[in-house]
Amino acid sequence: MAAVRQLEELPDRTRRGALWGPGPVRQCQPNDVVGGSMVLADSYPFLEVMWTMVVFFIWVAWFMLLFRVIGDIFRRRDIGGGSKTLWLIFVIVLPFLGVFVYLIAQNDGMVQRQLEQAQAQREQMDDYVRSVAPSGGGAAAEIEKAKGLLDSGAISQSEFDALKSKALA
């Protein structure tokens, strides 16, 4: 209702031009914002900007910590479903207390599970790399094989040079 009242207070040509089609262009004034005033850079001091950034950083860090704890609860294999449910209820109903109690009580277990997961991922990556890597040993092994063929007389010097340039390419 206040917006309609403010709109009625504007001159007719401004009302028509601003909202109902083409008309004269009017400069926007700070008090034209419906329901309040604009926040300008000079009305937001530097220390408040820094404080806002600190609060936002802590807020993001809190959610990262909360989701890490919830993920660790689900990842645990040493407890059953009932214990996981109780921990989750504790973390959800009393989030600050639940997260900090879990971190204090289960710190060593969290670290151990994280190390095990990192080691399993590394082993999986190593197995994948071994499966897709060429088994010949690279360019040096190809040149060594070609040198053996050259020494045995199976290939000529020009063929060896061709194989060598192909291996190094």
Segments of the chain assigned E as strands: none
95 and 147 fall within a common domain: no
Span 133-158, average pLDDT: 84
Amino acid sitting at position 30? P
d(CA 109, CA 117): 12
- Note whether 112 and 80 are same-domain residues: yes
> Where residue 111 falls among pLDDT bands split at 50, 70, 90?
very high
Residue 99 identity: V
- Shared domain for 28 and 66, answered yes or no, is no
Query: What single-letter amino acid sits at 74?
Result: F
Portion of the chain with pLDDT greater than 90, in percent: 55
Q: Percent of the chain, pLDDT > 70? A: 73
**DSSP secondary structure code for residue 119 in this structure:** H
Segments forming the whole domain that contains residue 17:
2-38
Number of domains observed in the structure of the chain: 3
**Looking at residues 130-145, what average pLDDT do you find?**
79
**10 conformational bin, left if phi > 0, alpha if psi -120 to 50, beta if neither:** beta
pTM for this model (two decimals): 0.53
CB neighbour burial string for 112-140, b if at least 16 within 10 angstroms, e if fewer: ebeeeeeeeeeeeeeeeeeeeeeeeeeee
- Both structure tokens of 156: 């000529």
How far out from the chain centre does Cα 47 lie? 28
> What is the per-residue pLDDT for 16?
47
Residues 78 and 152 in one domain: no
Q: Tell whether 24 and 60 lie within a shared domain.
A: no
Cα torsion angle, 21, 23, 27, 29, sign:
negative
Q: Are residues 85 and 13 in the same domain?
A: no
